[in-house]
Amino acid sequence: MKSLYLLVNFFTVIVPFVFSFHPKLKFNKEFKYFFLANFLVAFTFITSDIFFTKLEVWGFNPEYVTGLYLVNLPIEEVLFFICIPFACVFTYHCLNLFIKPSWKPQTENIIILSLSIPLLVTGILFIDKLYTSFTFISLGILLLLFKYVLKLDWLPKLLGMYAILLIPFFIVNGILTGTWIDNPVVWYNNDENLGIRLMTIPVEDVFYGFELILLNVCLYEYFKSNRLKTRK
């Protein structure tokens, strides 16, 4: 099914896009901030994706893509870095409207340190595994930077939201990694990861996905805050 990956992207983004224009949500008013943020993040991830694909850290099954490529990436993989963040930042926007989660500083410290330190240690211990080391070390550093240097106050909201998003995450990534189909859309070289699978999903994908959303939300919030400062 040549259109499978394309359809995964489409059905991921279509409902959030339509509801962006709902008068109570008005996410369409935030499009310029999202797309500016997403362009910068997507460019970074696509560049690294081209590099990892060339090194055969992962690759793509031609049975499930349309055959249009950007360098060595199927166009569907490029769209992935737009569609998935759009749906996630839309969800983040909606939760901000209706829910105001907050943690005590001690709780937030425990959670951030409990995530970042094991990520850094594991990334260093498995430095020879490119997907593991790159994802774990970079995410561990970002969490510490955002919490203790930039002191961003929306991290609890994002962590709580990502816990909810893990449900659609397992559906989408399950399809892409072959849980419900004969062969995976995206295959992984186990020499470059821990070899631990959640269903058919490499455990690294959970953290890679979070890093993708983390950076999109970070720049989205940055551009929004600059808008508010300008208005004042």
What are the tens digits of pLDDT across the range 83-140?
999 999 999 999 888 877 667 878 888 999 999 999 999 999 999 999 999 999 999 9
**For range 185-211, the mean pLDDT:** 96
* Residue 43's pLDDT band (cuts 50, 70, 90): very high
- The residue-averaged pLDDT of 29-49 equals 97
pLDDT class for 227, splitting at 50, 70, 90?
A: low
Beta bridge pairs of residue 69 = 74
Nearest to 220 by CA among 90, 49, 78: 90
- pLDDT of 101: 66
**pLDDT value of position 107:** 85
Mean pLDDT of 205-226: 95
19: DSSP letter: H
Return the pLDDT at 155.
87
- Distance separating alpha carbons of residues 150 and 59, to the nearest angstrom: 36
Phi and psi torsions of 188, nearest 5°:
-125, 140
pLDDT for the residue 161: 87
Helix (H) or strand (E) holding 202: strand 201-202
Determine the pLDDT at residue 230.
Answer: 53
In the predicted model, what is the mean pLDDT of residues 227-231? Answer: 56
> Model-level pTM?
0.93
Q: How many residues does the chain have?
A: 232
The token pair that represents 128 in the structure block = 């020879």
Is 77 a residue whose pLDDT tops 60?
yes
According to DSSP, the β-strands at 186-188 and 58-60 are antiparallel
Report the chain's terminal Cα–Cα distance, integer Å.
Answer: 53
Nearest to 59 by CA among 136, 137, 131, 167: 131
Has residue 9 got a pLDDT over 70? yes
Cα dist from 92 to 1, 22, 99, 126, whole Å: 32, 15, 10, 33
Instruction: Identify the residue with better confidence: 232 or 162.
Output: 162
